[in-house]
Structure 1
């Protein structure tokens, strides 16, 4: 890892602080960024996420896609954890903490809002940032792409029914334009650009050299995205610091629990580390762009639900970096990939 990547936690922490300061000192800038939306997808953030994903896509070798069929266990673990377990455990933890453990500290109305926000997070497995986590764990780029793509397809048909069921809302309005546009922006376009780049570069040596040059932009995109998101919710974060901690508790428990479940299952099934690590990280991380967009569309920009989804971003970065470090330290315990 480069020095920039090794101290990514520091840069992300500074980005969080900078985002809040910019939101307070230059609200016009934050509002201008917030105004660049199409189908509830912020285009500025979309460009930054594209910068995160593109370096990973350059490493995708379509000739290896057929090999995924010979190693289905990682994909099965991802799908089972993401859609049969994660949304429901997140809802359980939200109800447990906000309706019972933290009940003396917050009003029932706020508790319902925070629960709704966490349900939205739990029902949206990661689409874009997982490419960064996969890259940091030396994950299989092609397999990660397949896992994310399959999850996107499942999300289109499963997100609304699961969220509606867990929220108890029968007429939930899901922004299908957001889902489709996000898939195009975060997967299809950078994938196409990566494929074109590989063909133009030709040799493996040239591809590796180019990947090393563009890789830092992936980290830049992550840090800039964090700064923007915290700038958008900076005032609320400053006004309710204690609530931030309360919301963070079930998210942290959920994150480490889901990772342990998926990573342990992959280990038990003897899945190679380059597949097992991204497999576990996809379920642990969240498609927070979608969660934030749906929370705002359903409950409003300044709602408790929107705040909860933003806290998910606050918690996710340091938690994911700690899990990336753990995955890298335990690499030798997993079997070598098949030839």
Structure 2
């Protein structure tokens, strides 16, 4: 057992290297073995890749097993973390994204891109900014030892707000009157990445605890899944970059230009939420996921809307795709930052 834990520790210690290798492997597959992503792309429904959904399940399921109903009920006793999530995601993030993207695309990068391209890149950035993350938050929460029950409630309430706030915000910032949100994508994502894994996780917890005891579940069974989240993350990276391999190789300069404001926005939003939690004296296991949920994006929704509004090969769709490409490496860096600054929160209690 000691050797196994040591192996996992070494594996996670060099996670950045594994991530870089997986990105390279994904791009090479997309370039030299395009038949593989073409085949996998056939398994898609409502803009959601079924193979990717399966891999995300591998990442989410271990965390969901840590959730029990009592913990969910207790979240209401300390709602400040929820308030931080709501305020940052809906009153700050979409508007800061619009401001930062406008500054870079319309002013700083004016010599490199045409006004027409700048407008569509801005549209793609706004779609990302108005769609805070759903599925991947559970991965970031796991990697930062977040409070599983609290993260579930943060994500669930955020999904409810998306239903009513996404369209008005996009219309306000872009002046687009014909925003058509693919509701099937939205509802299917919530069901696939929140509701179903949560039910299965809780059922697993109840069944194993009843048959083998709570102590066995907490000390032995749950640890059988150690490392699965990380492996699922790396396989997801290979899949994402294989899907986008040709895009990366054909648009290297523009991908870099788009990435700059998106990455800057990610760091700023994380810092705002994370520091707000510190000022409110929240514990680290609430603060870290609160920072992650605003910093990352619901890219399935953003890409689907960009394609519906502007077309598959549009600059707006490219901008949302760059959001997918930059998210995982940047979020892993933020996870490391959150773990290294855990000491800031050691005196706080949940």
Fold match (TM-score > 0.5): yes
Query: Which segments of structure 1 move beyond 4 Å, counting only runs of 4 or more?
Result: 335-339
Q: Distance in 2 between matches of 1:65 and 1:336?
A: 23
Alignment of 1:188 with 2:188, yes or no, is: no
Deviations 1:29-49 (Å, cap 9, x if unpaired)?
211211212112111111111
Deviation, 1:337, is 5.6
Contact 1:110–1:304 at 8 Å: present in 2 too?
A: yes
Relative to structure 1, the CA distance from residue 242 to residue 150 in structure 2 (aligned partners, 3 Å threshold; closer, same or farther) is: same
In structure 2, C-alpha distance between the alignment counterparts of 1:204 and 1:235, rounded to whole Å: 50
- Superposed displacement of residue 338, structure 1: 4.2
Q: Give the 3-state SS of the residue equivalent to 2:177 in structure 1.
A: coil
Matched with 1:314 is 325
- Aligned-partner Cα distance in 2 for 1:235–1:136: 30
Q: 1:48 aligns with which of 48, 55, 61?
A: 55
Q: CA deviation digits over 1:116-141, x for unaligned, max 9? A: 11111111111111111111111100
Once residues 248 and 178 of structure 1 are traced to their aligned partners in structure 2, the CA distance between those partners, rounded to angstroms, is: 25
Contact 1:77–1:279 (8 Å) recurs in 2: yes
Structure 1 Cα separation of the partners of residues 313 and 218 of structure 2:
45
- 1:21 aligned residue (25, 28, 32): 28
Distance 1:21 1:257 in 2: 32
1:290 aligns with 2:290: no
Residue 330 (1) aligns with residue 341 (2): yes
Deviation at 1:285, TM superposition (A): 1.1
Q: Tell which deviates more after alignment, 30-39 or 258-267.
A: 30-39
Are 2:47 and 2:300, in contact at CA under 8 Å, matched by a contact in 1?
A: no
Single out whichever of 233-242 and 83-92 deviates more from structure 2.
233-242
Aligned residues: 339
**SS of equivalent to 1:85:** helix
- Three-state SS of the structure 2 residue aligned to 1:169 is coil
Change (3 A) 1:143 1:337: farther
In the alignment, is residue 60 of structure 1 matched against residue 67 of structure 2? yes
- The 5-angstrom pairing of residues 1-339 of structure 1 reads 2-202=9-209, 203-336=214-347, 338=349
The verdict on how the C-alpha distance between 1:7 and 1:313 changes in structure 2, with shifts beyond 3 A counting, is farther
Residue pair 2:240, 2:325 contacting (<8 A) in 1 also: no
Cα distance change on mapping 1:7 and 1:293 into 2, 3 Å? farther
Contact in 2 for aligned 1:229/1:310 (Cα 8 Å):
no
Measured in 2, the distance between the counterparts of 1:172 and 1:290 equals 12
The TM-score with structure 2 as length reference comes to 0.92
2 CA distance for matches of 1:227 and 1:85?
32
Change (3 A) 1:247 1:41: same
Paired residue secondary structure (1:153) = helix
TM-score by length of 1: 0.95
Secondary structure of 1:124's partner?
coil
Q: Matches of 2:345 and 2:80 in 1, distance apart?
A: 14
| Unaligned runs of at least 5 residues, structure 2 | 1-7
